[in-house]
Amino acid sequence: MPLDPAVPTLGLNSLGLPKPPSETRVVVAMSGGVDSSVVAAQLAEEGYDVVGVTLQLYDHGAALAKKGACCAGRDIHDARRVAETMGFPHYVLDYETLFRQSVIDEFADSYLAGATPVPCIRCNERVKFRDLLNVAKDLDADCMATGHYIRREVGLLGPELHRAADPARDQSYFLFSTSREQLGYLRFPLGGLASKAETRALAARYGLPVADKPDSQDICFVPSGNYAAVIEKLRPGAAEPGDIVDHEGRVLGRHDGVLRYTVGQRRGLGIGGLDEPLFVVRLDAEKRQVVVGPRDLLRSRQISLREVNWLGDGPLDREHDVLVRVRSTRQPVPALVRPAPDGAEVTLLSPEEGVAPGQACVFYAPEGTRVLGGGWISRAS
């Protein structure tokens, strides 16, 4: 039976296409991890014409020594072994230049500008769901499948994006910028599974060599989560020292680079001996200042968004009641979203802490599981 428990419409196969699996070509984006490997294996077993594609996104030699990251040398090897096990073709595409230009450079520049970027979203948006999707079409594939934990459902007005059945695995925050056109071509077979344990059980059933492989934890090109070291390598001289100041401009100490701090940070500020705990409330890259203040200053109600992707029914031409998630680890909270000249404005019904420029703000329907899009945070107050 298909991975997604939804029953296919009469006359359609398990991917919602009007032809038998044997006549349906599916390109599977394979990272070398257990999730995309299970998707490829399941579809191959169902009789689909599967083509596996893995992207080499950064230096292969450096990647070989990097554990727990997608698209590294070890992972390319693992994806190839899965394809050999299940008997379908597998290709590796060199996307290092595109990935550097579309994702890594912006990541570095955003940090240097005092923002907190989310490169995984940009990778999905600019590489996997744009260029790789075009490759899939060039290969005459009927659709492209990935191992993301999110659901695609067909509503009255066409394909919709919905949160995964397992809240602990839901990846909707990282896929908010998926367009309607892309949704027509993409498939997410794992979205209906109840837990990651089910995925690993399927991998073991197929005898896949990645059945017990650990999940990736870090951003793939940032070893051990050390953002500062990567940015210094990409932008020599970027870690310029400056002042740590309070919200009224009084100098409290020195720092060794704005890029080493994030909004909401409390530890490691080196300004002990004060009457109350202080948090990073703003980063001023132009003045090379880390601005700190009491916890109350971290709370925001108004959020300005740019590059808004709206997936609701009809245009975003009026105010809507929504739930929003301002960080990937937060629970969605009630808010109002309305159009603005440069994107959208969000009003949180209750203030949220640590709303940082560069992060995403993702919209959800007030009831149910539908994802209504989102945008990039440019300002919060």
**Could you report the per-residue pLDDT of 292-337, keeping only the tens digit for each?**
999 999 999 999 999 999 999 999 999 999 999 999 989 999 999 9
Q: Are residues 127 and 257 in the same domain?
A: no
pLDDT at residue 59 is higher than 70: no
Q: Judge whether 15 lies within some domain.
A: no
Token pair for 174: 């990282």
Q: Mean pLDDT, to the nearest integer, of 47-59?
A: 91
Q: Are residues 84 and 122 in the same domain?
A: yes
Place of tokens 């934890």: 217
Q: Judge whether 275 lies within some domain.
A: yes
The whole-number pLDDT of residue 116 equals: 83
Q: Are residues 267 and 312 in the same domain?
A: no
Helices 34-45 and 73-86 meet at what angle, rounded to 10? 20
Q: Are residues 205 and 249 in the same domain?
A: no
> Which residues, including other chains, have CB under 8 Å from residue 65's CB and lie 6 or more apart?
none
Q: Are residues 77 and 215 in the same domain?
A: yes
Q: Judge whether 33 lies within some domain.
A: yes
Phi/psi for 106 (5° steps) reads: -65, -40
Distance of CA 21 to the CA centre of its chain: 30
Q: How many residues does the chain have?
A: 381
Q: What CATH number is given to the structural domain containing 365?
A: 2.40.30.10
> Which residues, including other chains, have CB under 8 Å from residue 48's CB and lie 6 or more apart?
15, 21, 22, 24, 25, 26
The whole-number pLDDT of residue 304 equals: 98
Q: Are residues 190 and 305 in the same domain?
A: no
Q: Judge whether 200 lies within some domain.
A: yes
Q: Are residues 96 and 181 in the same domain?
A: yes
The whole-number pLDDT of residue 112 equals: 82
- Structural domain that includes position 364: 299-380
pLDDT at residue 72 is higher than 70: no
The whole-number pLDDT of residue 237 equals: 72
Q: Judge whether 6 lies within some domain.
A: no
Beta strand spans in 18-142 (E): 25-29, 49-56, 90-94
Q: Are residues 146 and 281 in the same domain?
A: no
Place of tokens 């209750």: 350
CA distances in angstroms from 79 to 193, 338, 372, listed in the order given: 22, 43, 33
The whole-number pLDDT of residue 38 equals: 97
Phi/psi for 176 (5° steps) reads: -65, -25
Q: Are residues 106 and 188 in the same domain?
A: yes
Q: Judge whether 39 lies within some domain.
A: yes
Q: Are residues 283 and 374 in the same domain?
A: no
The whole-number pLDDT of residue 275 equals: 74
The residue among 163, 197, 224 that closes a domain is 224
Q: Are residues 184 and 246 in the same domain?
A: no
Q: Find residue 310's DSSP bridge partners.
A: 373
pLDDT band at 60 (very low <50, low <70, confident <90, very high): very low
The whole-number pLDDT of residue 74 equals: 85
CA distances in angstroms from 251 to 247, 255, 265, listed in the order given: 10, 11, 18
Q: Judge whether 11 lies within some domain.
A: no
Token pair for 311: 């997936």
Q: Are residues 249 and 272 in the same domain?
A: yes
pLDDT band at 63 (very low <50, low <70, confident <90, very high): very low
Q: Judge whether 164 lies within some domain.
A: yes
The whole-number pLDDT of residue 4 equals: 52
Q: What is the dihedral of CA 65, 67, 73, 78, to 10 degrees?
A: 140
Q: What CATH number is given to the structural domain containing 282?
A: 2.30.30.280
Least confident of 187-201, 257-271, 358-372: 257-271
The count of domains in the chain is 3
Q: What CATH number is given to the structural domain containing 95?
A: 3.40.50.620
The residue among 256, 278, 293 that closes a domain is 293
Q: Mean pLDDT, to the nearest integer, of 272-294?
A: 86
Residues serving a catalytic function are: 123, 220
